[in-house]
Structure 1
Amino acid sequence: MTNSYYAPKGGHPGQDQLLTDRAVFTEAYAVIPRGTMRDIVTSFLPFWDDTRAWVLARPLSGFAETFSQYIMEVQPGGGSDRPETDPDAEAVLFVVEGTAALKVNGTSHELTPGGYAYLPPAAEWTLHNKGDVPLRFHWIRKAYQAVEGLDAPDVLILNENDIAPSPMPGTDGKWATTRFVDPADMRHDMHVTIVTFEPGAVIPFLETHVMEHGLYVLEGKAAYRLNSDWVEVEAGDFMWLRAFCPQACYAGGPGRFRYLLYKDVNRHMPLR
């Protein structure tokens, strides 16, 4: 089955549009619907040419604590020779439209839709759009938590379409996770995966755990339980879940429901 990846296009609603929407911001979770991603809410970043970004999450009191997440839109000919200004930042890039010309530590790579790159802290990288259509990709950033005795992770260049999803036990493959990183590799302090639900599949209990989550819906629609509320979400929506926010899911169809998932992992809880 061909994978689908929703990406925002911006634009601006007319004066005849209703003001009501599904946007929700609480102490436990947030829902940022795709309809909020308009031209007037984009941001611009130093040393990026012909590029704008929708910021989905950032460290903020009462909001995301461990990560930031952008949807980057790079016009043909645009890009950056100095994309990251924080030497402690690690990154995951995930391409949803167009082609990225990525160079990491002197080696060139081409990322097409479904393309994934893990960039460890202090990696030397550049990124450009050498194609003739806009490039859109997710950029997830985290301050790497080094541990004495563990090396920093290696650069990873992969594509979702080359990786077999891992089914959750007892689900007959209706709930599966595409993993780009070995869960047993303790060098990594964050995982970015793709979760897929076939029509009718569920998260059958209220997951309540320490990992903070960012979920961007790539495809389909579902009813998602966030804390004490059920919300409807669709392709292009973003959800943030605070640590320990209860969550569950019912993917009623008619097609698959898939999202790009961030979570922090593999580290002790800070005590100060």
Structure 2
Amino acid sequence: MRFYIKDRNTENLTYDLSISDLMSALVLIFILLLSIQFLELKKQSSLASEYKDKREALVNALRLEFKDDFIKWKAEFDEKSLMIRFPEEVAFLPNSAELRPNFKLILDDFFPRYISVLTRPEYINEIDEIRIEGHTANPQNKYDNWSGYAESINTAQNRANNVLFYVLEPFQAKHGDNSEIMNWLRRHIAASGFAFAKPVLINPNAYPLYAESNINWEKSRRVEFIIKTKYEEVIEKMIEVSRGNQYELK
């Protein structure tokens, strides 16, 4: 009969080596994941810089196109949000979604030129969305009850819809339903009504932000044309990647 003496030192050494190998593997995996995330972030940062330059060029093109018009139209151009705003006094009858006759003339001039800029070869592929937003007001919480809110949201949505239909009808009549420009517009343009959910603030840094004294209800009654570009999409994806979520940019 043979007897074997178990070497505890050898057993411990094997155990220590296994733990060491496991830790090394985990460290390598962690480094690999960090490297992948860094490369993705670097890639998106480069794209963001490229899209930012194109966005700034679009801002300049819109400013140049309408430099003589915004004042006479009483319109505002916010370059940061790529938003063009028309106040109620220009666009709609009071507390109504009906377009003023003079606003129709403004839209007849504005919208074809607006789309002409956006569909230039250097910009057309950078446009994600053109959103027409209708807005109303709620001074002294006048419309806080359900029926008041329902009336307000309907008015806001109808304002956006009426503007949308008015500006698209001439394109449809001129180019036809299945034309390239109509297909592009249908894919990119939308109408939304926000009631009084997004009022115009007097001081965007005030606290509390939505205090009655910090809201300009008169300016809050308006319609806006807002452009969303690929730049905003890339920035959102960069934020997600920095949080550890992976996206594939096309």
Which interval holds the TM-score relative to the shorter structure?
under 0.3
- Provide TM-score, normalisation by structure 1: 0.21
Larger C-alpha radius of gyration, 1 or 2? 2
Structure with higher strand content: 1
- Provide TM-score, normalisation by structure 2: 0.23
Higher relative contact order (CA 8 A, sep 6+): 2
